[in-house]
Structure 1
Amino acid sequence: MTAAQKQPVEHRGLITLVIMLATIMQVLDTTIANVALPSMTGDLDASADTINWVLTSYIVAAAIMTPVTGWLADRIGKRELFLVSIVGFTLASMACGLSWSLPSMVGFRLLQGVFGAAIVPLSQTFLLDINPREKAGQAMALWGAGIMVGPIIGPTLGGWLTESWDWRWVFFINLPVGIVAFLGCAAWLPRAERVVRRFDFFGFAMLAIALGSLQLMLDRGAEVEWFAALEIWIYLFLMLTGFWVFVIHILGAEKPFLEPAMFADRNFATGLVFIFVVGIILLASLALLPPMLSHIFGYPVITTGLVMAPRGVGTMISMLIAGRMLRFVDARLMVTAGLSLTALSLHMMTGFSPQMDSTPIVLSGVVQGLGLGLVFVPLSTVAFATIAPRFRADATSLFSLVRNIGSSVGISMVTVMLTHNSQINHAELGANVTPYNPQLWQLSPDAAQGGLQSLAVIDRLVTQQATMIGYIDDFRLMMLITLAALPLALLLRKPRVGGAPVTVHAD
């Protein structure tokens, strides 16, 4: 250990605060713009189909640029890259708020994704660097709180800003946060050694093609009826080809874009699988609940946010507890307990019905928040506990990338299942609406006799019930995925106790 490595990190608390400000700013933008899309449509002269490119452009750009974070951090310095990312992301956010057309908005959202891609993995790297190993759990608890609570409050904050002010404030709100985060990071972030590292352009190009095609396929599939469209087949071909060539390349290249030795660490490899599952559960459930509460229960945006807020509270509580427990309790037991609570919450959600009040939604949300927090903190800590420090920047970028891919896969999966199952349920329930059904005569004699208004009311009830069953089917699928992930906890290795603290290189 060098003298530089032994130097204590000053202003650790302030560094953590400004890093988390930047992280929350970036994470919020993955969901905060969703509720503003209808308002953007008219102002930007876009259609209901083309406005979705506002979301797609950001997701694709972030996915392509996330894996390159490690190389850029070595080349120009972690501190410098983080500062550039904050400035670029904030300026791109302002440009999005000033957009005058759909092409300008899509272009500025691409820039947002490019600059924002490095913020989350670098924030995790910094927190691991500036904290000793015995405090890594608490550091990951704070980091995880921002990562997981951000998407929960994003739709609520976006809805309030859109209704109270204008959709442009969804982006303008990043300016003060970005300024404070930049000034704090510029003042207190420690400098790191730079490493001259050759850029593997071919490997990056193959991975970029694969990731971009995957994100486009997942985002565009529902709009073009999936594999009924040639476009999706092209994306699938490019994705499979890109991934295949990338894997073959890094296994044989002298200095590949991502070193295969990184994946030999069992904790890190298992952590990638776990975070993929967490990504599916977290954002898939968040994608399902707002439309369910709006369309079936008739909740306005603000009420939906209030009903879902306890989920975030449960997450923060469990993360803060898990960060301290990690020093005394086996991380594998905490992950198992967290997954069990998450599965229990999803089982509770399979009992939802249009006739209930908000109490079951709140209770299941709190239980799910507690469960996800218990999984995320030990997972984020153990996944990097045994990996070599030289892999850390690449590893954290992959960790964020896999979580985002899991989120995209989960959202697409539950959306497709919801549409498909709702149609099947509607057909099966509608088949019972006949004049020969005595229950229909008891419920509505006018409908049984062919009254159009009464039949319209019955059809709305059938649609409501069919959609509710579709949501329940999705919750049951996520519960099964969670239970299937439980045995993976056995593959995690318990980190060595009393090891050397995580160090930081300072000038």
Structure 2
Amino acid sequence: MAHSETAETAETSETAAPLAGAQLILATVAVALATFMVVLDSSIANVAIPTISGNLGVSVDEGTWVITLFTAANAISIPLTGWLTQRVGQIRLFVSAILLFVTSSWLCGIAPSLPMLLAARVLQGAVAGPLIPLSQSILLNSYPKERSSTALALWAMTATVGPIAGPLLGGWMTDSYSWSWIFYINIPVGLFAATVTWFIYRSRETATRRLPIDKVGLGALVVWVAALQIMLDKGRDLDWFNSSTIVVLAIVALVGFVFFLIWELTEAHPIIDVRLFAGRNFRGGTIAISIAYAVFFSNLVLLPQWMQQYLGYPSFNAGLVTAPLGIFAVILLPVLSKVMPKVDARTLSTLAFLGFAGVFFMRSDYTTSVDTWTLVLPTLLQGIPTALFFVPLTAIILSGLPAEKIPAAAGLSNFARIFCGGVGTSLAGTLWSERSILHHVRLTEQASVDNPVFTQSLHAVQAATGVGPAQALGIFERGVVSQAAMLGLNDVFWVSGIIFVAIIPLIWLTRPVKGGGGQMPAAH
């Protein structure tokens, strides 16, 4: 009986005609909203981290774990999408993942402490893994083949709007209501998307079959990724390798990774097919996109934190400054689909990396008196390389692969990219902290009562403000801390620009690719 049901489902899935009319429009909106919800959630928390940290009584560094642990859990679950789809069915998995995402969002909103919030964010990241690749696959199956580029363009537009809406919504909700609402917003959106998707697609379910799962590989993946992420997040607080905890975590991460690598190379049904790295284009493209995304994403996290902590920007204003990132990206995506077939993808990727480098070099000259337009301009311009970033590099990564390898390759490249986003955020935060401490030491080297220039400055502060010596010293210290943080962040921006220039040769080690716009995979 079960066998006949599966066969019947497979027949329905294969022979189902594309959707049309109002049903197609409604389906597109529902599926796109699921993508939007996940992309929104990866950026909406960025501007709320200082508020969340303050309300829960933790440091901003600890608050950043809300982002990094979500990213790590999301990265781990992505490689499971293919296996889960074949085991459960594409539509059931998609709707179930949306409902679990809604539930975990509610748990995030009601979390009374940081540990509870982090647990809910890990669950949220894990169940979000299948949503983006499945949303693209479902949309492609809903449109006629000759309109697949339209389906992909609509999907990309939705995914790109997230960076615009996320900071704005996150800032507005945090300032006007509470940070919990940045998670509660997913509830109505997710319930609508799940309901509409189920009613339209439940008769178009894909075939299911029982496949073995690489339990050992999955276990090893969870262990080394978790150990590495916790080590990076706790390193600053525990003074890195002066702490036995950090040493143990580092050993677990290293041994776990080596074991995972060896196991996956010998396993018949690996959770991640690491043999794909033998391909020249996959190797070069995946390394390039992973490093680039690590730098790109970590800076999106640090910039609003700095504006709120040291420039006094409210959450909404910080969101207004970071939101323009998506404007040029949305405008240029339709143009890119026409240019891609005519231009070498390596050229477009190079232009993207040079554009990112230019933006970060612009930011590396910021001062503590920077005006809003000077903050907005690089963010606005950053939308241009963002539009040239994902599609050409994805075309390089997937070029030359047989059709049966594309889902695994897309899953692995996405795992590497998203995981590196979390790692990059932790490393960038550490670099900012260390460089700020160094600049603070340098700025206070001459701050001594034996230095007449310093004592005269303190007397001038006292005369201008009417405060006593202790308060004048406090004013001086606050100024030094702000200046040191600015100089430290400038160093992060400068290093970010250098990294984008340095990884350009990785792209040119790959083979030429044209016409990659049509190679975006259903499992991306």
TM-score, length of structure 2 as denominator length: 0.83
User: Are 2:232 and 1:214 equivalent residues in the alignment?
Assistant: no
Stretch deviating more after TM superposition (418-427 or 442-451): 442-451
Secondary structure at the aligned position of 1:279 is classed as helix
Q: Note the 1:244-283 alignment, pairs <5 A.
A: 244-283=258-297
Residue identity matched to 2:85: A
Match of 1:476 among 494, 497, 512: 494
**1:426 and 1:462 in contact (8 A); partners too:** yes
Partner of 1:176: 188
TM-fit CA distance, 1:172:
1.9
Contact 1:64 1:212 in 2 (8 A): no
Q: Does the 8 A contact of 1:129 with 1:503 survive in 2?
A: no
- The 5 A counterparts of 1:431-470 are 431-434=445-448, 440=454, 446=460, 451-470=469-488
CA distance in 2, matches of 1:368, 1:146: 18
* d(CA) in 1 for partners of 2:256, 2:15: 43
Q: Distance in 1 between matches of 2:517 and 2:71?
A: 38
Q: Is the 8 A contact 2:231 2:250 kept in 1?
A: yes
Of residues 18, 22, 30, the one that matches 2:30 is 18
Tell me, yes or no, if structure 1 residue 9 matches structure 2 residue 38.
no
2:124 is matched by which residue type in structure 1? Q
User: How big is the shift at 1:483?
Assistant: 0.4
Question: What's 1:165 paired with?
Answer: 177
Q: Do the aligned residues in 2 keep the contact of 1:130 with 1:502 (CA within 8 Å)?
A: no
State the Cα distance separating 1:349 from its structure 2 match. 0.8
Structure 1 pair 177–365 and aligned structure 2 pair: CA distance change class (3 A): same
For 2:195, the aligned partner's letter is: L
Q: 2:123 is paired with a residue of what secondary structure?
A: helix
Which residue number in structure 1 is paired with residue 91 of structure 2?
Answer: 79
1:226–1:232 CA contact under 8 A, matched in 2: yes
Change in 2 beyond 3 A, CA 1:304/1:226: same
Q: 1:128 to 1:379 in 2, by over 3 A?
A: farther
Give aligned pairs, total. 503
Aligned CA distance change for structure 1 residues 445 and 13 (closer, same or farther; 3 Å): same
Show the counterpart of 2:392. Answer: 378
Structure 2 counterpart of 1:304 = 318
* C-alpha contact 1:134 1:327 (8 A) present in aligned 2: no
Q: Can you list the C-alpha shifts for 1:213-246, whole angstroms capped at 9, x where unaligned?
A: 2222222223323222222222221221122112
CA-CA distance at 1:121 after TM superposition:
3.0
Distance 1:437 1:475 in 2: 34
Shift of 1:343: 0.7
2:395 and 2:516 in contact (8 A); partners too: no
What is the CA–CA distance in structure 1 between the aligned matches of 2:124 and 2:336, rounded to whole Å? 33
Compared CA separation, residues 385 and 134, structure 1 to 2 (3 A)? farther
Other-structure match for 2:335: 321
User: How far is the alpha carbon of 1:187 from its aligned partner?
Assistant: 4.2
The answer to whether structure 1 residue 287 and structure 2 residue 301 are counterparts is yes
2:504 alignment partner, SS class: helix
Q: Which residue of 2 aligns with 1:410?
A: 424
How much does 1:113 deviate?
2.5
Distance change >3 Å, CA 394–CA 465, structure 1 → 2: same
Deviation of residue 393 (structure 1)? 3.4
SS at match of 1:210: helix
Listed one character per residue, the Cα deviations across residues 334-359 of structure 1 (whole Å, up to 9, x for unaligned) are 11111111111111111111233122
CA distance in 1, matches of 2:127, 2:408: 17
Residues 294 and 425 in structure 2, CA contact (< 8 A), matched pair in contact too: yes
- C-alpha distance in 2, partners of 1:130/1:326? 24
Q: Answer yes or no: is the 8 Å Cα contact 1:342–1:368 preserved in 2.
A: yes
- Which amino acid in 2 is paired with 1:491? L
The answer to whether the 8 Å contact 1:137/1:322 transfers is no
Query: CA distance change for structure 1 residues 160 and 335 in 2, over 3 Å: closer, same or farther?
Result: same
**Pair 1:88 & 2:106 matched:** no
Moved more, 373-382 or 470-479: 373-382
Matches within 5 A, 1:45-60: 58-60=70-72
Task: Answer with 105-114 or 215-224: which moved more.
Answer: 105-114
TM-superposition CA deviations, 1:106-142 (whole Å, max 9, x none): 5443432332121123334445666789877765555
2:508 to 490, 493, 506: 490
2:299 maps to a residue whose letter is: S
Contact 1:137 / 1:324 at 8 angstroms: preserved in 2?
Answer: no
Q: 2:356 aligns with which of 323, 339, 342?
A: 342
Which residue number in structure 1 is paired with residue 435 of structure 2? 421
Q: Which residues of structure 1 form unaligned runs of 5+?
A: none
SS in 2 for 1:208: helix
In 2, Cα distance between equivalents of 1:82 and 1:393: 16
| Letter in structure 1 aligned against 2:320 | L
1:137–1:378 CA contact under 8 A, matched in 2: no
Give 1:383 deviation, angstroms: 2.6
Asked if 1:401 corresponds to 2:415, the answer is: yes
Mean CA deviation greater in 230-239 or 117-126: 117-126
**Structure 2 residue matching 1:29: 3-state secondary structure:** helix
Can you list the C-alpha shifts for 1:451-496, whole angstroms capped at 9, x where unaligned? 4443333333222222111111000110111001111221343447
Paired with 1:10 and 1:380, the residues of 2 have a C-alpha distance of: 27
Unaligned runs of 5+ in 2: 1-10
Query: Given the alignment, which residue of 349, 361, 368 partners 2:382?
Result: 368
The secondary structure found in structure 1 opposite 2:503 is helix
Letter of the aligned partner of 2:89 in structure 1? G
What's the RMSD between the two structures over aligned residues? 3.6
- Counterpart CA distance in 2 for 1:138 and 1:438 is 70
Q: Secondary structure at the match of 1:30?
A: helix
Distance of 1:181 and 1:311 partners within structure 2: 26
Taking structure 1 as the reference length, the TM-score comes to 0.86
Matches within 5 A, 1:109-128: 109-126=121-138
Amino acid corresponding to residue 377 of structure 1 in structure 2: V
Q: Which amino acid aligns with 1:160?
A: W
In the alignment, is the contact (CA less than 8 A) between 2:349 and 2:393 conserved in 1?
Answer: yes
Cα distance change of structure 1 residues 228 and 147 upon mapping to structure 2, 3 Å threshold:
farther
**In the TM superposition, what is the alpha-carbon distance from 1:395 to its structure 2 partner?**
2.9
